[in-house]
Amino acid sequence: MKKFTSILATIMLAVMSLTFVSCDDDSYIADSLWGVWEGDMYVTSQWNGQTYYSSYSVLAFDKDPYEYASGSGYWVDYYSNAPWDYFASHITWRVNNRNIEIYSIEDDTYFTIYDYSLSESWFSGTIIGEYGDPMQFRLRKTASPNWGDYDWGWNYSYPGYAPSTRADGNNNADKPVRKFMKKPTE
C-alpha cells in the first residue's frame, strides 16, 4: 500500500509541475508579445457589396500588469483602394494554453492565433476568425514599452495610437466586416 501511495504521489507531482509550466509559458508569451507589430495580416473588409484588401496592419498588445497573460490594445488595418483609409478597433487579448485569443471590441469578433513563432523582432503564424479562412501572417516589431518611462498603469498607450473609428468620418454607417482572405493574383 505504501508503494501505491508513493507512485500516486509521484504521478500527481508530475501533473502539477506540467500545470505550472503551462502558466509560465503563457506569461512568457505575453511578455514577448507586448509591443507594436506591423505587417500584412491578409485582412479583407466587406462593405456595401464590395471586398477591399488591406495593404498592411498594425497590432498593439499592451500587457495588463495585474494579470499574468492578458491585456488590451488596438488593431488597425490600412487600405489603399477603399472608401476609408483605415479601419481601427480596440482589442482585448489573452494567452490561453499557448494560443493567443483576441477579441475585437468594435467588430464584436473573436480571433485565435496558433502555430506561431515569436521572437524579439518577428511574429509569424496562423490566425483564424469567426469569418474567413485561416491565414498565415508575418509581423515585425516596431515599438516596445519604454521601461524607464513606464508608469505601471493599465492604460499605457503607444505613439501613433489610432482611435476606434472609420477614417471617412461616417461612424454611424454600417461598419465593414473584417475577414481573412488571400489576395487574388493579378
- For 52-85, how does the pLDDT look when each residue is reduced to its tens digit (9 = 90+)? 888 899 999 998 888 889 999 999 999 988 888 9
* Distance between CA atoms of residues 186 and 183, nearest Å: 9
Rounded (5°) CA angle 36-169-162: 10
Please report whether residue 16 resides in a domain.
no
Please report whether residue 12 resides in a domain.
no
User: Which domain range does residue 131 map to?
Assistant: 27-180
Q: For 129-138, what is each residue's pLDDT tens digit? A: 887 789 899 9
HSE-up (13 A, CA, CB side) for residue 115: 7
Q: For 79-117, what is each residue's pLDDT tens digit? A: 988 888 998 999 999 999 999 999 999 889 999 999 999
CATH number at residue 64: 2.40.128
Please report whether residue 82 resides in a domain.
yes
pTM here is 0.71
